[in-house]
Amino acid sequence: MTYAVPEIRSAGASRRKRLSYAAVEPWLYLSPAIVLLIVVLVVPLIIGISYSFRKFSAFKSEFVGLGQYHAMLSDAVLGQALVNTLWWTVASLFFQFFLGLGLALLLDKPFIGRKLVQAVVFLPWAVPSFLSGLTWAWLFNPIIGPLPHWLFVLGLRSDPSTSILSDPATAMWGPIIANIWFGIPFFAITLLAALKSIPAELHEAAAIDGASPWQRFSKVTLPFLAPTIVITVMLRTIWIATFADLIFVMTGGGPAGSTNTVPVYVYVSAFKSLDKGYASAVAVLLLALLIVYAIALIGIRRSLVRHV
């Protein structure tokens, strides 16, 4: 604990003043941001972690050590929620990414009506997620919504009087479809911005060298997009994995828990079962999984940047 302080004290007065001011100045500029980060991120995180060692009821709590974590090991509902979360995240991300990339490539080229397509593509981003969920839930409703009929006409459902939301085997597809619609603009916007930053000469040079469109995409476009792709995929994965609005509005985690994801389970444990401690422990687990995932992807991004 004797780090730099004795050295500074042994120096002359003016030097000490300069040194200490130089050392402090950046921190002064950074301090509002640091305080803000501590207040909005670090403090709630510490409170959340400390809650995970307690058992709560509505107006009481007691310290239970690792009891909540121990209870998680034998919680079948949590097991199902983890599997559902994985499925929800991977399927949503896969379609959001590829459809978003396709739209970004389309919108990168001039064509008649591009502005209109652009406006339509970005529209879902402007609609509150809760409202999106309500709208999609009604679209899937077999009495007043058109989708069950069209899924039947297309041969995807055998019975137009039922909704995919009511069948445990297909229920997760409802929120996933809504989420795909909701998330495409994110990839379309960010990838379109990245596409615009690729120097046109590179494509021209490749074309002169006789590269095919696929070769130009795979050898020029994709390497330039790769760092952006890794970062957007990482951010989006975290957002989707923790995003509960659509599921909550469309299925409430049902039927029979078939769309119960970890964030929905956290919400129900905290506010319906009134056990904030268990909810916090589950949230800490999700946080840990997402941190591991983010670290892995950051590693991938570093190696990609080195190779570009």
Partner 1 sequence: MKRLSVMLAAAAGLAISAGTAMADTTLKMVEVITSPPRTEFLKKQIAEFEAANPGVKVDLVSLPWGQAFEKFLTMVQAGDTPDVVEMPERWMGLYANNGQLEDLGPYMAKWADAKTLGERAKEFGSTVNNTQYMIPYGYYVNALFWNKKLFKQAGLDGPPATLDEFIADAKKISALPGKYGYCLRGGPGGFNGMHMFMNIADGKGGYFNADGTSTMNDPGSVKGLQMLADMYKDGLAPKDAVSWGFNETVTGFYSGTCAMINQDPDALLGIADKMSADDFAVAPMPVGPTGKSFPTLGYGGWAMFANSQHKDDAWKLMATLLSPKDNLDWAKEVGVIPIHNGADQDAHFKTEQFKGWFEELSDPSKYEMVTPPTHLENLGNFVDQVAIKNFQEVLLGQKTAKDVADEWAAFLTKEQQDWMAKNKK
Which one of residues 118, 135, 141, 228 is an interface residue with partner 1 (CB under 8 A)? 141
Kindly tell me which of 57 and 218 has the beta carbon lying closer to partner 1.
Answer: 57
Q: Are 258 and 84 in contact (CB under 8 A)?
A: yes
Is 285:73 a contact under the CB 8 Å cutoff?
A: no
CA–CA separation, 296 and 111 (whole Å): 39
Closer CB to partner 1, 179 or 259, in the complex: 259
Candidate list 166, 170, 228, 242; residue touching partner 1; CB under 8 A: 166
Contact stretch for partner 1 (CB under 8 A) within 6-14, 89-97, 140-148, 220-228: 140-148
CB of 187 or CB of 248, closer to partner 1? 248
- The three-state secondary structure class of 144 is coil
- 57 makes contact with partner 1 (CB under 8 A): yes
Q: Are 252 and 165 in contact (CB under 8 A)?
A: no
Per CB under 8 A, 150 contacts partner 1: no
User: Total binding residues for partner 1 by CB under 8 A?
Assistant: 27
Question: What residues have CB less than 8 Å from 54, skipping those under 6 apart?
Answer: 61, 62, 63, 64, 68, 276, 277
By CB under 8 A, residue 44 contacts partner 1: no
CA distances from 230 to 201, 241, 292, 295, 298 (A): 25, 16, 15, 12, 8
DSSP 8-state symbol, 76: H
Residue 136 to residue 181: CA distance in whole angstroms = 10
Angle at 12 between CA 6 and CA 15, to 5 degrees: 95
Identify the burial level of 118 via C-beta atoms within 10 angstroms of its C-beta, where 0-12 means exposed, 13-18 middle and 19 or more buried.
middle
Q: Where does 151-212 show beta strands of DSSP type E?
A: none
Asked if 162 is part of the footprint of partner 1 (rule: CB under 8 A), the reply reads yes
Say what angle helices 222-241 and 276-307 make with each other, to 10 degrees: 180
Kindly state whether residue 143 participates in binding partner 1, applying the rule CB under 8 A.
yes
Binding residue (CB under 8 A) for partner 1 from 85, 163, 261, 280: 163
Give, as ranges, the residues between 262 and 281 that touch partner 1 (CB under 8 A).
Answer: 268, 270-274
48 interacts with partner 1 by CB under 8 A: no
Contact 97, 233 (CB under 8 A): yes
199 binds partner 1 (CB under 8 A): no
**Minimum gap (Å) between residue 22 Cβ and partner 1:** 45
* Nearest residue (CB) to partner 1, 71 versus 106: 71
Exactly one of 25, 62, 159, 204 binds partner 1 (CB under 8 A); that residue is 159
Residue of 16, 63, 77, 34 lying closest to 269 (CA atoms):
77
Q: Is 135 in the site for partner 1 (CB under 8 A)?
A: no
Quick check: 228 binds partner 1 (CB under 8 A)? no
Find out whether 120 and 203 touch, Cβ atoms under 8 Å. no
Q: How far is the CB of 144 from partner 1 (least distance, A)?
A: 7
Q: Is 76 in the site for partner 1 (CB under 8 A)?
A: no
Which 3 state secondary structure label does DSSP give 75? coil
Name the one range near partner 1 by CB under 8 A: 27-35, 83-91, 182-190, 252-260: 252-260
What's the closest the beta carbon of residue 179 comes to partner 1, in angstroms?
Answer: 18
Binding-site member from 1, 22, 58, 112 for partner 1 (CB under 8 A) = 58
The footprint of partner 1 (CB under 8 A) covers 57-59, 141-144, 159, 161-163, 165-168, 251-252, 254-257, 268, 270-274
